[in-house]
Amino acid sequence: MAAILSFFTDFPIELFLIQTLNGIVTGMILALIASGLTLIFGIMDVVNFAHGELFMLGAYVGVLVLSTTGSFWLALILATMLVGIFGGAMQIVTLRPLIGRDPLTTILATFGMSLILQNYALWQFGPVARKINEPITGSFSLFYLTYPYYRLLIAALSAAIIGGFWLFLKHGKYGIWIRATTQDRVMAQAMGIPVPWVYTAAFAIGAGMAAASGVLFGPLVGVNHTMGLDWVLKAFIVVVIGGMGNLGGSIAAAILISLLEAYASIWVSPAQAVIVSFIVLIVTLLVRPTGLFVATPK
């Protein structure tokens, strides 16, 4: 009883609020990565193991553009576009020939691409992490912490990109094509929708979103060839918890997971806090394997 009382009386409310903010910021970045992953899975049934490397590639393109032009915003736009085009080309070369084959072949193909991209980055840029400078450097006081504005900017930009993507899916001509193909690819074809190109476009959009998150997150973590690994693992967890192929579910799951990890790290070390994600994943798979944020199948 005394222990419970002391938990509430000693509850670190300030730290809790700081961690809420941290969780939302990380959650928005994770949501941006997971949106691309769930889009690709939802439309093509392809589990893209190279998604983390597209995130990493985006960050490296950002480093190169930034060092050449000095403009963070140009780096963000060019990295998104170039990696988007690269993703489209990658889909045409590696995944399009596998349409209709065993799903295992696409897993192996994307895993192979992931190894190629990771080792190419190591060969080209070496093992030392590169730095992307924040476009804005100011900060504000949050209780006893100095909190950088850039972190808030990341959350806002991620939300803006996801919002723009949602509007495109909801109202754009090609967005409707993507949603129709996701729901019934055979009927989409019968309606004259060029499904193989819709696949390519969806992969390119997913790749572009991963690249954008790579550039946005670069200033916080440094850019190296393995930076995609942790994020793609988390993104996979998010996609499963949110419901495979469910965009809204992935966003909600990304924020939930990031908040839970942030809260857990109040009491345990951040390395141990990661366990929370896996616990939620296991509970989801046991209790509601279709995803926490999917309507109950009727």
Chain-centroid distance, C-alpha 287 = 25
What is the C-alpha separation between 190 and 246, in angstroms, rounded?
Answer: 24
112 belongs to the binding site for another protein (CB under 8 A)? no
Q: Residue 196 interacts with another protein (CB under 8 A)?
A: yes
By the rule CB under 8 A, 199 interacts with another protein: no
Rank residues 164 and 196 by Cβ distance to another protein and give the closer one: 196
The C-alpha atoms of residue 224 and residue 171 are separated, in whole angstroms, by 37
Rounded to whole angstroms, the Cα distance separating 268 from 61 reads 36
Residue 193 found at the interface with another protein (CB under 8 A): yes
Phi, psi of 141 (to 5 degrees): -90, 130
Is 92 a binding residue for another protein by CB under 8 A? The answer is no
| Whole-Å CA distances, 11 to 3, 8, 44, 79 | 12, 5, 47, 43
* DSSP H stretches of helix in 226-274: 227-242, 247-267, 270-273
Does residue 195 touch another protein according to CB under 8 A? yes
CA distances for 253 relative to 4, 46, 154, angstroms: 29, 20, 18
Please identify, using beta-carbon distances, which residue of 29 and 247 lies nearer to another protein: 247
Q: Is 186 a binder of another protein (CB under 8 A)? A: yes
Strands (E), 89-144: 139-142
Among 188, 204, 262, 274, binds another protein (CB under 8 A): 188
Nearest in space to 276 (alpha carbons), one of 256, 293, 261, 254: 261
Task: With H, G, I as helix, E, B as strand and everything else as coil, classify residue 297.
Answer: coil
**Interface segment toward another protein; rule CB under 8 A; list 91-99, 179-187, 234-242, 253-261:** 179-187
Closest distance to another protein from the beta carbon of 184 (Å): 6
Residue whose CB is less far from another protein, 126 or 172: 172
The one among 116, 130, 147, 189 contacting another protein by CB under 8 A = 189
Continuous segment of H or E residues that includes residue 40? helix 13-44
Give, as one character, the DSSP assignment of residue 130: B
| Residue numbers 145-174 binding another protein by CB under 8 A | 173
Please give the Cα distance from 245 to 249 (Å, whole number): 9
Question: Stretches 41-49, 130-138, 192-200, 266-274: which one binds another protein (CB under 8 A)?
Answer: 192-200
- Alpha-carbon distance of 39 to 42, in angstroms, equals 5
- Determine, following the binding rule CB under 8 A, whether residue 190 of this chain makes contact with another protein: yes
**# residues near another protein by CB under 8 A:** 18
- Select 98 or 180, whichever has its Cβ closest to another protein: 180
Q: Is 179 in the site for another protein (CB under 8 A)?
A: yes
Q: Residue 290, interface with another protein (CB under 8 A)?
A: no
Least distance from C-beta 193 to another protein, angstroms? 6
- Judged by beta carbon, residue 42 or residue 62, the one nearer another protein is 42
Q: Under the rule (CB under 8 A), what is the footprint of another protein?
A: 173, 176-177, 179-180, 183-184, 186-196
